[in-house]
Amino acid sequence: MKSDVNAESKNPTKVEVNVRGYSFEIDEPEAHGGTGSAPTPVEYELGALTGCFNVVAHVVADEMGVEIENLEIKASGELNPAKFQGEDTDERAGFQQIEMNIDAETDADLETERELFEKVEQRCPVRDNISHETPVKLKLE
C-alpha cells in the first residue's frame, strides 16, 4: 500500500497538504515566526502516532476478543531547537524521546491489556517509522 501527499508552500512557515481529496495546513506558532493558524509539523507527528495507535489497538483488540470501551492516548516530546536553528550541535533535530500515556478501559485483565499494547507497539507503522531509521530520498524536480 503506497501513500502519497502533496504540499504547497503558502508562506515561509505555512504549507497546505493534500492527500486523497483532503487538505490540511501546517504552520508554526507566532512565537516562532508563523501565523499560529495550524499545528506544527511535529505536533502532527505526535497526532499521527496517537491516531495509528488507536487504529492498531482496535484491530488487535478485535483479534484478541477484547472489548475497548474507552481509549485515551497522549503523546509528548521535547525538541532542542539548536540544530533546526543552524547551530553546530551533535544533538538530533527531532524529539530526543516521545512519551506515550495510554488510559484504556477494556473488559480484559491487566496482563491481557499489556499483551495487547505490546502487540500494538510492534505493529503500529507510525511508531515503526519513528523508532527506526527510515531512509528519505530527496529528488529535485
C-alpha cell at 97: 524521546
- Same domain as 58, residue 34: no
Is 141 domain-assigned?
A: no
Confidence at residue 85, expressed as pLDDT on a 0 to 100 scale: 86
CA distance linking residue 56 with residue 51, whole number of Å: 9
- Same domain as 117, residue 62: yes
- Same domain as 57, residue 35: no
CA distance linking residue 93 with residue 110, whole number of Å: 37
- Same domain as 33, residue 53: no
Write out the residue range of the structural domain in which residue 126 sits.
40-131
Per-residue pLDDT of 31-67, as tens digits, reads 989 999 999 999 999 999 999 999 999 999 999 999 9
Helix then strand then coil, in percent of the chain rounded to 5, is 35, 25, 45
Is 137 domain-assigned?
A: no
Per-residue pLDDT of 79-103, as tens digits, reads 888 888 889 998 888 999 999 999 9
- Same domain as 51, residue 34: no
- Same domain as 110, residue 126: yes
- Same domain as 80, residue 32: no
Is 140 domain-assigned?
A: no
Confidence at residue 84, expressed as pLDDT on a 0 to 100 scale: 83
C-alpha cell at 141: 524536480
Q: Total structural domains in the chain? A: 2
Confidence at residue 56, expressed as pLDDT on a 0 to 100 scale: 98
* Contacts for 57 with CB less than 8 Å, ≥ 6 apart: 68, 71, 104, 116, 117, 120
Residue 6 vs residues 25, 34, 44, 115: alpha-carbon distances, Å: 12, 21, 15, 37
